[in-house]
Amino acid sequence: KAGVTQTPRYLIKTRGQQVTLSCSPISGHRSVSWYQQTPGQGLQFLFEYFSETQRNKGNFPGRFSGRQFSNSRSEMNVSTLELGDSALYLCASSLEGGLGSPLHFGNGTRLTVT
């Protein structure tokens, strides 16, 4: 069974630009979560989608948004990029997203903002 696929693997953007990251979950998984990983803060929860609806949201500004499609694939968008947005963005899928069902991560998209 194929794992979680994230594209692109690397991105370099300039301050003020916007970026869209893509995530394809494991087949059959209906929940997709997004995390930001930085050396100082570790993994910070961005949001979780289930059946095309945002079910949970972390403490990030509105510049960070996402969506999920009917095939469970998900995209994350960051507008008006800031230098502090440079991080590894990880997508994780799980069967239902509830009752503590384990997360399965992709290898991430490394975003660098210059």
Q: Does 45 bind another protein (CB under 8 A)?
A: yes
Residues in the chain: 114
Q: Which of residues 15 and 108 has its CB atom nearest to another protein in the complex?
A: 108
Cβ-proximal residues to 80 (8 Å cutoff; 6+ apart), any chain: 16, 18, 63
Q: Which residue has the tokens 């968008």?
A: 77
How far is CA 87 from each of CA 26, 37, 38, 83, rounded to the nearest angstrom? Answer: 23, 6, 5, 10
Cβ-based nearer residue to another protein, 92 or 111: 92
Q: Which residue has the tokens 């999920």?
A: 68
Residues that bind another protein (rule: CB under 8 A) add up to a total of 27
Q: Is 25 in the site for another protein (CB under 8 A)?
A: no
Please, which residue, 13 or 104, has the CB nearer to another protein?
A: 104
Asked if 111 and 13 count as a contact pair (C-beta separation under 8 A), the reply is yes
93, 97, 111, 113: residue in contact with another protein (rule CB under 8 A): 97
* Footprint on this chain of another protein (rule: CB under 8 A): 4, 6, 33, 35, 40-43, 45, 48, 50, 55-56, 58, 90, 92, 97-100, 102-108
